[in-house]
A and B are shown apart, each in its own frame.
Chain A
Amino acid sequence: MSATLVAQSAIGGALLGGIYGLLALGLSLSWGLLRLVNLSHFALAFLAAYVTYQLGTTFNFPAWLSLLVVLPVFFLAGIALHSVFMMFRVSEFSSMLVTFGVTVLIESLIQWIWSADFRKYETSYAQETLRVGPFFIPVLELTAFACALVLALCAWIVLRHTMLGKALRAAAYDGPTAAAFGINANKLSYLLAGLCAASAGVAGIFIALTSTLAPSQIEAWIGVVFAVVIIGGLANPLGALAAGVLIGVSEAITMAVVNPAWAPLVAFSILIALLLWKPSWL
C-alpha cells in the first residue's frame, strides 16, 4: 500500500464527495428551511440523469445543453411537487412517507420508460484526466466538484447576505413572526422548492455522466447522502459540501486500505457517532 495510492484514492473520494455535496445541497436546504425531508430528491436526480442520457444518446445533445433543458423543467417540477405538498399540508415527519411514495412513482416511471436495464452514458470526455505530479484527476469529477462548490457558495452567499436569504431563514426559524414582518413565506417556499429540484437536476446530469444508471440505483444513494446532510448540518450549504468530501474521502480510503466492502460502514459509523456524541450540532 503506497502513499501515492492512498492519496490518489483520497482525491477520488474528495471529488466523489462533490457529487454527494451536490445532492445533499438541495436536500439540506429543503429539510432545514422548508421542513420537508424530501426523499424524492434522489428520484428527481435520477430522472434528470435519464433525461440527460436520452438527450445525449438519441439527439446527441452535449451535457451542457441538456443542462439548459433540465434546469427549467426541474425548477417547474419542483414547484409543482411542492404545490402538492402544500395542498395537503404535509408535516415534517409525514413528508418522509409522502416523498417516498413520490420516489416509488418516479422509479416506476423510469422503469416503465427505460426498463430496469443498466445503462451507461458514454461520452468522449468521460475518461479524460489531468495529471498533477503523480496523481490523476478525472476532469469530469473535477467539473462536478467545481459545480458543487460554486452552487454551495452561491447558496451560502444568498442565505447569509441577501434579503431573500434572510427572509428564508427568518420564515423557517419563526414563521408567524416573519409573516408579521411582511415575509411571504409561501411564495419563498415555492421558489426554494424549485431551486432545490433544479439542483437535483444538476446533480442528475453528473450522475448520468459518471455512473451507471438503473432504477434500483436510486436507493443506493439515499443512505450516504442522508448521512452527509446530517453531518453537514441542516440548511448549511458549505457544511453539506464539506461533509460530502469527508464521507467521500473516508469511504475511498477505506476502499483502498481495508476493503471496498467496508466503505458503507464508514459513512454510517460517522453519522451514528455524531448523533450520539454531538446531538446539539444538528
Chain B
Amino acid sequence: MAMTRRLIQAASGIGLVVLFAIPYLGTPDFYLSYLYIIFFWIALATSWGILSGYTGYWSFGHAAFFGAGVYTAATLAGKLEAPFLVTIPAAAALAVLLSVVIGVIVFRIKSLRAEFFALLTLSVAFVISALISNTWIDGGAGVFLGNISLPPLGTSIPGVIYLFGLIIAISSLVISRAVLHSRLGIGLLAIHDDEDVAEVKGVPTFRYKLIAFAISSAIAGAAGAVHAAYVGYVTVGETFSITVPLYVVLMSILGGARHWAGPAIGATLITVALSLFVGAGQAELGRTVLVERHESAPCALLVVQRERGLVAVDVYAHHLLAEMVVEREFGIALFHSKLGAQCAVRVEEGKRPAATFGCRAEQKRRFAAVVGEGEDRGSIGQDAELRAGRAVCVVEVEIRGLMLRYAELRAPLAGLIDEDEILRGNGGRRSRRASSGE
C-alpha cells in the first residue's frame, strides 16, 4: 500500500515536471493550444464540481462566473492596459463577489433546488450577458486584447498561456481534492444526500453551500481571465453561450461528479472526442488573432470543417498551416457567425489559403464586409464590393438585438483573397422577430 502510494506520488511528480517542461521543448504552438484547451475545460469542470457535483445543486450559470473573469481581464488588461498577472486575482475576486451575492439570496430560499436552481442560475447568466453586452464593458462590439502584456516566461505566447492554463487546472484539482477531504466536503456530500437531514444533524448547510459556491466561482473566474488572453477577442455571444454550462455538466457527469478527479477525466475525454469529430472549434479563431497580434504574422485564418455547417479557418502561422493541411483535407469552408456573416476559405495542399468574408442580409444581394484598415462601421450591411487585397474582419450579427457587430480587421491579405470564392447564398432577410421592434 505504502509502496503503491509512493509510486503514484513519484509518477505524478514526474508527470508534473514533464507537463511544465513541454513548452520549453520546442513543442509546436498548435499542440500547446490544444493542451491548453484541455486544461481550460478541466479547470471549469472541476470548479463546477465543487459546488454542483458535491452538493447536487446543479448550476447552469457557470458561464456567469467564467464570463465575469473573461470580462474582468478584457477590461483590465485589454482596455486599461493593466498587467495580465493582476487580472487573474481580480477576475477571481469579482467572480467570488458575484457568487456570494447570488448565493446569499438564493440559498435562503428552500424551494430553489434542483431544476429551479438550474434555471435561476441560467437566467442569471443571461442577465449578466445582456448587461455586459449593453454597457461600456462590451458595448456589443466585443473587446480586443491585442495589446495585453503577458509575462515573458521564456516561451512563445501560446506557451505562456499553456503554463497559465496548466497552473489553473492543477490548482483546481488540488483545491477540489482538499475540499472533498475536509469537513466542508463531507458536509457538501451530506447536502447532496439529504439537505434537510444534514441541516438537522448540524451541518451548516447555508454557509457550506456559500463557501463551495465562492470557491467554485473563483476558479471559474481565474480560468476566464486566462481564456480571455487565449481567445484574444472576446464577445458576449461566445463567452455566455449555452455550451459552457452544458459541456461542464456533461463532462462532470461523464467523469463522475462526486469524486475530485471525475470532472477532469470527463473534461479530457470530451475535449479529445470533440476535437476528433469537430475539429478545433471556434475558440481558435480568436487564438489566431492572438498569434497575429503578438507575432505580427501577416494574417491569420483558421479553418476547421465540420460537415458542411462548419466552423472555419486555418491558422496562417506557417508551421500550423502546414501541419493542418497535411492532416486534413479542406475544401472551401464557410465560417458562419451567428447570422448571415460568413467567411469562405479555400485551403489546398501546398497553396496559401484564399479567403473572402461576406455578410448577406438580403436575398441575392451579395455583400462583403470589406473594410480597409481602421474601423469603418458604415461599410457593413451595405453594398460593398469585395476587393482583393483588402482586409478581413470578424463579423458577428446578433439576431435578437438586430445588431451588426464586428471587430477589428486583419492586416491586408495582399493577394490572398480570391473574389470567386464569395459564396452566394439564399440568405434570409432579417429575422421578423428582431424587426418587430422597429
Contacts and interface: CB of A to CB of B under 8 A. Distances in A.
B119 interface: yes
A117 B428 CA distance: 9
Interface centre among A222, A256, A276 (most CB of B within 10 A): A276
Interface in A114-146: 115-120
Nearest to B241: A219
Contacts of A162: none
B437 A265 contact: no
Contacts of B58: 93
B128 to A, nearest CB: 10
B63 to A, nearest CB: 12
Contacts, number: 146
A6 to B, nearest CB: 11
B12 interface: no
Contact of B428 (A111, A213, A279): A213
Interface in A217-275: 217, 219-220, 222-223, 226-227, 230, 251-252, 255-256, 259-265, 268-269, 271-272, 275
Contacts of A13: 436
Given A115-B308, A272-B124, A275-B123, A210 B426 contact: no
B309 A116 contact: yes
A214 B317 CA distance: 32
A9 B308 contact: no
Contact of A260 (B116, B250, B434): B434
A280 B431 contact: no
- Report which residue of A112, A120, A219, A282 has the largest number of chain B beta carbons within 10 angstroms of its beta carbon: A120
Nearest to A265: B130
Contacts of B120: 272, 275-276
B134 A117 contact: no
A93 B117 CA distance: 12
Contact of A279 (B112, B309, B334, B363): B112
B2 to A, nearest CB: 41
B134 A261 contact: yes
A261 B140 contact: yes
A245 B249 CA distance: 32
A184 interface: no
Interface in B329-365: 334, 336, 338-340, 360, 363
A116 B131 CA distance: 29
B429 A227 contact: no
A261 B403 contact: yes
Given A261-B401, A282-B111, A211 B124 contact: no
Find the residue from A111, A117, A120 having the highest chain B CB count within 10 A.
A117
Interface in B156-181: none
Contacts of A217: 399
A97 interface: yes
B129 to A, nearest CB: 8
Contact of A227 (B123, B336, B363, B436): B123
Interface residues of B, number: 58
Interface string B228-252: 0000000000000110001001100
Given A219-B242, A223-B122, A261-B140, A117 B427 contact: yes
A116 B335 CA distance: 10
Interface string A74-99: 00000000000000000011001100
Given A212-B399, A264-B126, A265-B131, A120 B429 contact: yes
Contacts of A54: none
A116 B249 CA distance: 26
Nearest to A257: B437
Interface in A123-178: none
B116 A211 contact: no
Contacts of A279: 109, 111-112, 116
B436 to A, nearest CB: 4
Contacts of A282: 111, 116
Contacts of B105: 276
A37 B130 contact: no
B428 A119 contact: yes
A40 to B, nearest CB: 14
B415 interface: no
A12 interface: yes
A255 B111 contact: no
Interface in B106-164: 106, 109, 111-112, 114-116, 118-120, 122-124, 126-127, 129-131, 133-134, 140
B246 A100 contact: yes
15 contacts: A93-B115, A112-B307, A117-B426, A119-B428, A120-B363, A210-B432, A212-B431, A252-B436, A252-B437, A259-B134, A261-B133, A265-B131, A268-B123, A268-B126, A282-B116
Interface of A: 9, 12-13, 16, 37, 92-93, 96-97, 100, 108, 111-112, 115-120, 210-217, 219-220, 222-223, 226-227, 230, 251-252, 255-256, 259-265, 268-269, 271-272, 275-276, 279-280, 282
Top 3 nearest A-B pairs by Cβ distance?
A: A255-B437, A120-B428, A116-B309
